Amino acid sequence: MCPERLAASFLRDGDRVVTVQIRDDLTAIADALDSSVDGARVVALLPCSGDAMPVGRIVDVLARHRGQAVAVVPVDDRTHPTALLLERGDAAPSTAWLPASGLVDLDAGRSARVRAELVVGGAADRGEARAFLAEAQTQRRRAEAAEVRATTAEAEVARLTAALQALRTSRSYEVGQAFAQVRSAPMSGLVQLPGRLRRAGKSSPGR
């Protein structure tokens, strides 16, 4: 989705779009939240992919400036490929499962933090998982291609070896070898020629 279309579908009159210039410097988000009224929405365009978001800093900014995370959306923008959708205001109290303390009732602040960690951290985790799976797929394809190449080469070697073996055991090869021997060593070659021709007569006919 392009940023303009996203903003048009999420924002209402008086809401804001802010562009974060440096990945780790989130003062633009803090300023936008501070200068907005409760219920206002903010779209923050981030200069990094979803799996590279500085999650701790984002959650911290949202917690300290009363920003609620709504969603993280990839957008078609080369320099700012991730949009963080926010709403200014307190979250409703809720209950959540925390790893360290089990099931707990959450006041507005903690509820907002849980939500921010789930939305922002979850998007980053999913991005990392996607990158991991893509890399794993690439490696698997490379391994499969290497295996196919190796199998093809092995089959070719086996075919040529069999052809060579067939040639070496053929009658014409034996006869040729016998006459080649005569040419290279006439005395011994002529002596051995009748025997070799007899043996050649018993070998396979060749092709």
Partner 1 sequence: MSEPEVLGLDESLEFWDKRHKVQDDLRSGGDVTYDHATNELFYVVRLGRLTEILGLADAPIWQRHLLDAGCGKGYFARAMGSFGHRVDGIDGSPHAISECQRLGGVTESYAVSTLAAWAPSHQYDGVYSVDVAFHIMEDDEWAASMRNLAGLVRLGGLLVVADHNADQDKVWQKYQKTRAGRSYDAVFGPLGLSRRGEFVPYGFLGSPAGFHVFTRDA
When binding is defined by CB under 8 A, the residue of 17, 80, 125, 203 that contacts partner 1 is 125
Residue 81 to residue 113: CA distance in whole angstroms = 24
Shortest separation between residue 25's beta carbon and partner 1, angstroms = 10
* Short-list 59, 72, 58, 70, CA closest to 25: 58
Strands (E) in 89-190, as ranges, are 94-98, 102-106
Interface stretch with partner 1, choices 123-131, 141-149, 155-163, 183-191 (CB under 8 A)? 123-131
Instruction: Measure the CA angle with vertex 106, ends 100 and 109; round to 5°.
Output: 105
Contact between 176 and partner 1 (CB under 8 A)?
A: no
Shortest separation between residue 52's beta carbon and partner 1, angstroms = 5
How many other C-beta atoms lie within 10 A of the C-beta of residue 182?
16
* Count, residues near partner 1 per rule CB under 8 A: 28
Contact between 26 and 59 (Cβ < 8 Å): no
Contact between 99 and partner 1 (CB under 8 A)?
A: yes
Shortest separation between residue 23's beta carbon and partner 1, angstroms = 7
Q: Three-state SS for 106?
A: strand
Contact between 173 and partner 1 (CB under 8 A)?
A: no
Contact between 28 and partner 1 (CB under 8 A)?
A: no
Site mask for partner 1 (CB under 8 A), range 56-95, x = bound = xx-xx--xx-------------------------------
* 164 CB burial (10 A radius; 0-12, 13-18, 19+): exposed
Contact between 47 and partner 1 (CB under 8 A)?
A: no
**Residues whose CB falls within 8 Å of the CB of residue 6, separated by 6 or more in sequence, listed in order:** 43, 73, 75, 83
Binding site for partner 1 (CB under 8 A): 23-24, 51-57, 59-60, 63-64, 98-101, 107, 109-110, 113-114, 117, 121, 124-125, 127-128
